[in-house]
Amino acid sequence: MMRDKKRYILAASSRPIHEADRKRFEAELYSAMMQQLGEAEYFKANPKVIKFSGKERFVLKVMHERYEQSIVALTFIKTISGKPIGLYTLKSSGTIMAVQK
């Protein structure tokens, strides 16, 4: 079986994500991304937050073939938990090491 190529996106949030809120933020982010991508595309993009770094940054893993759509979806998300938010794509790479540098 061939391994799927992945892409790692370093994203930042306009408001801090506190440690206690991370699980909830993740769930709401997936839900918002599904709304933007549609169910079929969401399944193909398969986004997963794999790491939080500091209060505002996180690394999102997506499938390589839906990487561009995932960036557009992140850009379109303007509210999470009913509060306004801006999500910015700072960097992307094929390896998690490179994206964290």
Partner 1 sequence: MPFYDLAHQTALHGYLWKQLGFKKIGVAESHVKISLPGSKNIAGSICVGPSGEHLNAAAKQSPRAIIINDSRIDRKLLDTMKAKNVILCIPFDRILGSVGLRRSSAIYMTSRLVQYAIKREIRVAFVSFAGSEEMLCSPVQLIELAKLLGAKEEYARNAVSVTNWELIA
Site residues for partner 1 per CB under 8 A: 12, 14, 56, 68, 71-72, 74-76, 78, 84-86, 88-92
3-state secondary structure (DSSP) of residue 53:
strand
Closest to 25 measured CA to CA, from 79, 92, 91: 79
Closer residue to partner 1 in complex, CB, 82/84: 84
Closest CB to partner 1 among residues 65, 68: 68
Taking residue 31's Cβ as centre, other Cβ atoms within 10 Å add up to: 12
CB of 1 to partner 1, least distance (A): 30
